Structure 1
Amino acid sequence: MNRIKGSFFIKVLIHIALFLSGLTLLIGVYHIYNFTDSYSTRVTDFKETWEFQSKYLKYVERVAVYVDYREKGYNGSISYDSSSLDLSALFEKEVEKPESNSNTQESQKDFDYYNNILNQPGSNFVYYVRNLKTGAVYYSASLEAEISKLTEEYGDKAMSKYLEKVKAENSSYLIINTDTEKFATNVNKKYLELNDGVDYLNDENLNWVIDCINGYITADNEGNAGNRGSYIVCTTILNNLPNKNDEFGTMYRHFQELYVNYRASLYPVPISFVLLLLFFILTIAFTGHKRNTNAIVLNSFDRIKSELGFLFVVFGIYILFYTAKALSSFIYYNLNIEFHFIILIAYSILYPFCMFGLLSLIRRMKAEVLITNSLLHTVFVKLNKILKQFFIQKSITFRIFILLAVFTAMQVLAFYLYHRPILFSRKTEFLLISIPGYALLLYYLIRSGIDYNIIREETKKISEGNLTHKIPVADMHEPALALGLYINNISDGFSAAVDEKVKSERLKTELIANVSHDIKTPLTSIINYVDLLKKEKLDNEKANGYLDILSSKTWRLKTLIEDLMEASKASSGAIVLNLECINLVELVRQSIGEFEDRLASHNLETVLNIKDEPVYIMADGRSTYRIIENIFSNVNKYALSGTRVYVDITTDDRTATISVKNISASKLNINSDELMERFVRGDLSRNTEGSGLGLSIARSLASLQDALFEIELDGDLFKAMVHFPKLDRYTNEKKIRKETENLT
């Protein structure tokens, strides 16, 4: 499972699916909201909308006003530009219900306005009006052929045939009889059901239409309302609205576009939401995981403080949002692109950065660093620590707090008296209270600084090795006084501990020397008597074998005692050194020559990496030889047979270094520092002849000569190094000779 979570390819597929499901959901929600913001969800046809109802009533009222003008004798031609489909110029003036106007020229303009609107060729709205008293007929230009044919065929019954045809064939019509004040329509039948009985084609609005046609709304040219008789008014919207460019056609296209998108989004939206939720959960589960590790992997951005990361993401989203908004507005208004494509562009700009910030938040939460890596948490932890320390160190903090409280109170009182003086002028009272507060604060700061400087200087003397030195505390004040007393007590403790340590080391050295001397005296007698027994030439072979073993073990014991005494002297510094200028290269070559046979007997090959030119050091010849001898003796005892021993001498500006490398025959499951302790051997089985003192003696002898003895262990590789201060024989010859003479 961890392998799947850490797969980069699967993560990419999940992010692509998440992006697409989010985009589908966003566009779908936009289409649903866009439709429901304008229409009811129960509306399925354009003619069921409030837009159609209100616009249809508006055109019916225009027919009434138009007929009123025609009955008054106004006539005009229809102005039509066949090269233009933009009808906005026709609707610049909206005269709902024209009032009486004696200005014939203005009335003619109003009539031309309604004439142009109602008699547009190819309009989706057609009207037919007949004056039953005078027989005058007014109808749309598009009905001229149909009305002429019906009149020719049916004569006086032409109107009845036309009305029957309208009722039978048209899905949207309104027929009004002004005499009976009744009307028939199929426009608001479905609309009434969808809008709880609220409609536009109601009695109040249609009575206005009847009154307008009858001339009761506006006066005629003579100022009389007139008795025009009764009318049959028939208005119709053509089926399927063939003209897509008039008002009804434009609204129909807009409705159809919204409705189709709305219907197409009803099913994808819930599916997209489920998929978005699914892929988002997968994204949360997979983020932060990588192959070959179970831990949550954080990137560099995740490690910055949570608040800073949050502000960066919010600021980035803010910038990208306004960038996307500006770009979308430009594209929408200048390139005339569908709005859901604008959503795609804006979503594509904002999605990566928003997801980057969200995934960073998720990784922080999964790694449990969201709170711990925040600035507030850091401030809270530090504040909590300060408060704890405040109460723990109350002997000091309470003093400082009281001092600051007194200083603040004095300053507040000084400013109060400055604005409301009691005895003296405001400046005098302010200075009398304020200056002592500053003087008190300054005195405390200077006194604390002096006490701190005394402690710093006196503790420096103690740190330089003068453990018996005491800090003078007679003139000090709290809290520095307590600190000085504590340091003096520590100094007393250090002095006692050092004295006890020195005494212990001295007694230990004396014990080792005395015991070694006491053991060495009888051991010498044993060795002498063993030699005497060998000279007797005993005939018993077993006795001779026993003598050989006894001789070997006594000599080994003698060597161990001598090494122990030498180690004791070296560690205590009881050895007298004879410092002289020594050629280190020559000394190493001599040592290798003396060990050549013993190394060869263990099948060890020596590889020298030594320059021919001399390397001079100031050292004791005997002690330095003993250091090298102990190293080679260690190699001879513990090196793996059949391997090589590498001996190098390197130099730099200040030091000359001898390094000896070999492969150990036994596993070196031990620390290098521990290996240089007394009686510690690399052979844990202790089957070899070593005493475990050789490396300890070498380190002590090197330290006495200001040299550094080091051991490095790398698996079974053993490397011993000795760093000596280097001398230039030619530039320091006089100095060396003088120091040699002083020592002798």
Structure 2
Amino acid sequence: MATKWKNFTRNSWVKAVCWLLILVMTAVSAGMTVYAAENAQKNNLNELSSYSTYSLSDILIHEQPTAEYLAQQLYFPISNLYTVGENGTTEESIERNVTPADLLGELTTEYYQSDTWESGEPEQSYDASAPTLDAKTVSAVMAALASDTSGEYSDISESAFQAWLTHHPEVYASCRARYISAQLQSLTDTQRWLEGLKNSFDYYLTNTVTGDCFTSLPDGTAQKNAESQLLHTTQYAMALKSTTTGAAFYSKHTDLAQELESLNASDYMLDSSRNGTAICAMTTDAYDNLCLSWSEIHRLFANLITIYAISAVVIALCLLVLCFGAGRRPDDDTCYLLGFDRIWTEAQIFFGMCACIAFAGVISLFLNFFGDNITVSLSFTAICTGVCAASVAFAAVCLVIFLSQVRRLKARQWLNGWIIWRLFRKFGIASLCWLNKQFRKSPLRRRFIILSILLPLLCAAWIPIPVVIIVLLIVSMRLADSIEAVNRGAHDIRAGKTDTQITVREHAPKELAALAADLNGISEGLQEAVDTAVKSERLKSELISNVSHDIKTPLTSIVTYVDLLKKCDIADETAQEYIRILEQKAQRLRTLTLDLFDASKATSGAMTVELAKTDLDALLRQALGERSEHIQRAGLDVRITSHPPVYVNADGRLLWRVLDNLISNCVRYAVPHSRVYADIAQGASLCTLTIKNISATELNISADELMQRFTRGDRSRHTEGSGLGLSIAQSLAELMHGTCRVEIDGDLFKAIVEIPRWTQPETHETNQTT
């Protein structure tokens, strides 16, 4: 059974028939609606609603007019007649019965537009020659003003209004004339309206105050005769008599009389403020026509509801079949999407809304042709065809959009068809995941997230914005104080102030307090490390100094005894060779001891520095001259590039030691019979000496490591160097506020010394004024 149902719903012919049935039933429903409207027009639907209100359910349930509807048909003419005629039927009676209360609205409007109302004070300047109102009239107006309980005139100053009214009788006269003119126009309109009721109603209305009478009966008919004629004559189907004390319904039809008597008669009597008696009777012909129109419309609407019900059932069944077969093919469970399904859902909805607006416009246009005041007339066939075509087109558009959404649901791609969902999935979900991740990281982030969400909500809830701003400023400033304190402490620790202790506010976030504690711990640990390093360096320097000093005494003795042995007459050549070796090693040990002592003094800062004007070029040439024998022995060709004189602010003794160490380094490690370049450059604040040579051994060591103590480029240590020359040069250059560094590029060795340039000190001359 299930297989047959699937094959049935997926059959293309079945789908086409369902489409056709839906469009046909839509066209039938639209056509029947136009037909019902046309027939309702012919059956005086407008007349049914002229004097009363009714609902569609009343017409569908009752085949005959309801008692409430008929009662309203009688009461409406009475109420309308008395509302217009309560002040009289002639100009004289209207003038005679105008009261100050009737004119109060007109007078206050004029008062609001006067200068008195703007100033709030009684007007002092007025035309003294103008006639004044009598005291009785003014008192009546003020009494009417005081009797107002609606609060409409509560903002009027009674004293100012009375003074203004007394001195402006022309305003009172103008308002009175306008009121009388409006009442006469209303009376004329009512009399025209009464002429249209003479074939359906007869009425009799008297005003006991003015003595005026409205009636459709022959002139001269007395009230007693009018009541007998309207209430008990068989030519009237029903009648209503209304007074200020009560109301009563009359009808020659027994069933109708019982229904009318069941109504609450007090709802149809005249107000107690009105004086007089009103009688309205509906003729038998008008009653029969009304009942006939009601029955025709009842039958028409009942048929229309039946058509709607049948159409709804057929359309529902067809939609069910189309929903099951949408996107499916026979013997294939895959859901296929059409080209229209690729369009975004928002675009489909917009297209549907446009179709809905167009459909409503077309229907409104055609329905207007049922009116009475149009200048273009269309036949029923043209109207029906237009409405049916518009309904079918609108139904087809809605069906296409609906089935497109069904196919997306079956293909599980309904959400993907929404641009909003795609944007939310691409950005919204990622943002929510990121927010959740941030929310879980730390309490501080949670507070920031809650604050960022809560503040806009508070503003949206109309919490006073100044309060929100004040709270935000207080919280943010406290947080800024703690952050700035931590930032300053971290900067001081970085600058070397290891005794820094960071203090944050009492209400600072726990994270900032923990960070401050960690930085304080780092500062304390760094201080301990520095103290330990300084102590260790001092101990090493002291150890080197002490050892060097202790070695000097025995070394001096050894050198002395070697000299004594050389003076002895020793003929053995082997002994002479031994003495020569002892002398050589003793001298080397003496040099090493001096280097250790100098390195210790330079590192510890115990060496005295006397900065003065020194010629770097001359000092370099002097150092080369003293080392000329060694340079010649190594076969080096020294090339100097300089523009003397080059004056630097340095200690000549220390600078000479730096240069001597660098030249000695070249003599030991440069390739024999190679060139050595010494370049001196003068900068704005520094003078730079660069010595370049080619290393005889492979420099498989970094420049920083080469500057360390006891480090040689010759790792086999076959040369006579101590490994302290570059380290001593660096320490001595730093004592003179300069630098010494090396650069290695393959086998090219480059030593660079930077010394502050000597500048002429400023001299202050005192000018004497004679």
TM-score bracket relative to the smaller structure: 0.3 to 0.5
TM-score (norm 2): 0.41
Larger Rg: 2
